[in-house]
Structure formats: structure tokens, C-alpha cells
Structure 1
């Protein structure tokens, strides 16, 4: 069955908003800084970078998180491949992705390399091995054989996209995380934190980005 592409509305021609979930793909204030604060800082990256490092993500969206961490991977001096696996129910069309990423000139070098090779499933860019798994993560993640060192939990708002934050899916995240591995998300919703705790993570609430007072960090002991 063909993938169901994301349906978008644009805010000020810069920020894509999901019509399916009525939620923006990234912070209206500064999406790049939000990614750095939440997903890199929340997973202690780039300090933990090492050969063979594997990041997994719920919600690929525009690819902003992947591009941000890939750029930091290269800038940190890593020469082997960063493995990045993302689970996405509504893949964004190539042209929409390119339009969204134009708003981040600091990532232009990496965006260009990515977009010129991206066919919608996977690509090998030397220092990046990317695989995006399309479909409902509640079905695709249990079938996945990988183990991640760090997770970016970046689904749409739990209030609007609760199926991507349920306890059973958080258990699957834990089951696909290396011991000592981490997870981070912009939300501090109580049921999300409890789901991670019940799955075996040690969870902490830390300062969020921008208008979000708190975010969540988790480590699998």
C-alpha cells in the first residue's frame, strides 16, 4: 500500500503545520535551537558520540532532528557512519521537506547532501546511514530488530497524537534501547513520564525550550 503523505498548511511560508494533527512540526520560535536543546542536550550529545552510535526516533517529520545531529556528528570529528532510524506514519513529500528546511541556513550543507540523495526510505551518505520506516509505529517498532543508544521522541503533541505516546509503545522503546541508553522529548506530560518509568527508564523532568516550562529526559539502567 502506498504511503499516506503528510498534509500541510504553512505558517508565514516558513513553518509547516500538520493538517492531520493540527500541530506545527517544530517550534515557532526557533526549531533548530529547540532540537539542540531537547534532543541533543536531552541525550547528552555530542559528548556520547562514538563509532557505531545508533539513534532512533519517533516522528521523522522534516528531517530537522536528523540533520542537526548529523551535522554535529561530522563537526565533532567522527568519520564512521552515524546510524539513524526513524518511524514515521505520514512521510513528508520531498518538495515540502525542502521548503521547510530552507528556514535553517545553518544546516544548508547537510540539507543539500541529504535532499539530493533522498528517495523516501533509506540512504547512505558515508557518515550517515538513514532508514525511515513508514507506518504506524505501534505496528512497525515491535518488528524492528535494532537497538538504539539514544531515542528522539518527537511525535506531535500527546494531546493530539496520543497513540504515539502510550505505555505499550514506550515499552517497545525500552525494549529497543541499549543498557545505559537514553531518551528525550519536549513533552513533560505525566502519562508519558509514567509510561517511560513503567518501561524501565529512570525519568527526570528538566527545563524545556522556549515557552515549554519542562521537558523529559530518561535513561535505561
Structure 2
């Protein structure tokens, strides 16, 4: 299993920062609102949720996006699936510390996730959720994955700092592992990322970003002849 631990520093306000990519995992002030705006609403959720709905994520990170998805599914009364791809997994202790500020927003769920935290990747089952974290370089692990996601959360560190998670070849693999009519959403509006997703077969649109971020990107897998 080729993966490396996350390299973390902690800002005074409690925000975890990756020292490897010099990028924070989320904004502590509005991390949850940003997640809901970008990854849930960006994928038309919770409106599209149904039994067995499957989310794939590049960049499992702290598990915050998974928690927001799981909570939305519980509120909708459906059981869902999640697969995260993470090259640099956090330890359970790091995850507990990172998620502590959000615990009140997810009664029981945050605690359950930390208790079953997949330190080196692995499966996590809980009421209403079947999740798996696949540790390692997504450029190697995603091509071998046999699943297909209904929605993708593209949440790697910034394309400027972590370009390998946004390569055209990997975006093509994302499309290849997307169910018909499936979608993606991401916080970045970088032109090369949008072009890579378009080339992969998504109809890509720019949407208003959260807070001070002017733009984000979202898209739907097109059924056109170029695929």
C-alpha cells in the first residue's frame, strides 16, 4: 500500500494546513457553508439524492465533505455510498482534531466517522452509509477502480500547488468512472482544469463561488458523440 501520512500544521484558529502543499484543508470560519455550496449544491444535492446514490471524491482530506453528504442523505431518508481517493491520509487523532469544530453540526456522525476512521484507507460502514477510502496516488488507483460515481467532489489541494490531481489524464478517468448523467463540482475555476474536464466529456459551466471566491466549476457528463 503506497501512501504517505498527511503533513499537517495547525493555524492558531485551529485550521489544519498541509505543509506538503502549503494549502489549508478548509476555512474554519465557513468551511461547512463552503462545502454545502460548492460540493452539494454544485452537484444538485440534496435534490438528486436517491437510494444508493454514489459520490466519488478526489481528496478525502478531513472527511468534512463526506459528513455533509451523509447528513444530507440522512435528512432525505436514503442510504448512500461514498468512495474517496486520498494520497496522504490523516491519522485518526488528526481527523478528530480537524473535525472537532464541526462536531456540533453533525451530532453522532462526526464521532462515528472518527471512531471508524480509515487511517490507511479502507471501508467504513454506518447507518445509511457505505464508504471506502482508497489510499495512494489517484493517478494509479482511480484507473483500477471498478465503480462509477453519480457525483464527483473534486477537492484536491489547489491546482497551482498540487497539479498532478488535476491532470487531463486523471480528469478523463473521472469521466470514465461517472454514471450516465453524472456530475462533478469543484471550487476551482482554473482554465486548464475546466478545459481538461471538457475534453473528458463533461459539459462544464462556471458558477458563483462561495464567499470571496468569485467562481467555481460544475458540470454534467454529456451524452454527445465525442465520448
| TM-score range for the pair, normalised by the shorter chain length | over 0.9
Partner of 1:167: 168
Output the CA distance in 2 between the equivalents of 1:123 and 1:184.
24
Shift in CA distance, 123/27, structure 1 to aligned 2, threshold 3 Å: same
Alignment of 1:128-147 (within 5 A): 128-147=129-148
Partner of 2:88: 90
Shift in CA distance, 31/42, structure 1 to aligned 2, threshold 3 Å: same
| Contact kept in structure 1, 2:152 and 2:184, CA below 8 Å | yes
Output the CA distance in 2 between the equivalents of 1:118 and 1:29.
24
Output the CA distance in 2 between the equivalents of 1:28 and 1:212.
15
Partner of 2:26: 26
- Give ranges in structure 2 of 5+ residues lacking alignment: 223-227
CA RMSD in angstroms, aligned pairs only? 1.1
Q: Shift in Å at residue 109 of structure 1?
A: 2.0
Partner SS, residue 74 of structure 1: helix
1:122 paired to 2:123: yes
Partner of 2:48: 48
CA-to-partner distance for each residue in 1:76-102, whole Å, 9 max, x for gaps?
122xx3110000000011101000101
Output the CA distance in 2 between the equivalents of 1:114 and 1:27.
20
Q: How many residues align?
A: 219
- Give ranges in structure 1 of 5+ residues lacking alignment: none
Runs (4 or more) in structure 1 with deviation over 6 Å come to: none
Output the CA distance in 1 between the equivalents of 2:27 and 2:154.
15
TM-score by length of 1: 0.96
Output the CA distance in 2 between the equivalents of 1:160 and 1:173.
20
CA-to-partner distance for each residue in 1:176-211, whole Å, 9 max, x for gaps?
001110000000000000000000000000100112
Alignment of 1:45-124 (within 5 A): 45-78=45-78, 81-104=79-102, 105-120=104-119, 121-124=122-125
| Contact kept in structure 2, 1:133 and 1:140, CA below 8 Å | yes
Q: Shift in Å at residue 13 of structure 1?
A: 4.6
CA-to-partner distance for each residue in 1:51-93, whole Å, 9 max, x for gaps?
1211000000000000011011001122xx3110000000011
Q: Shift in Å at residue 47 of structure 1?
A: 0.4
Partner SS, residue 173 of structure 1: helix
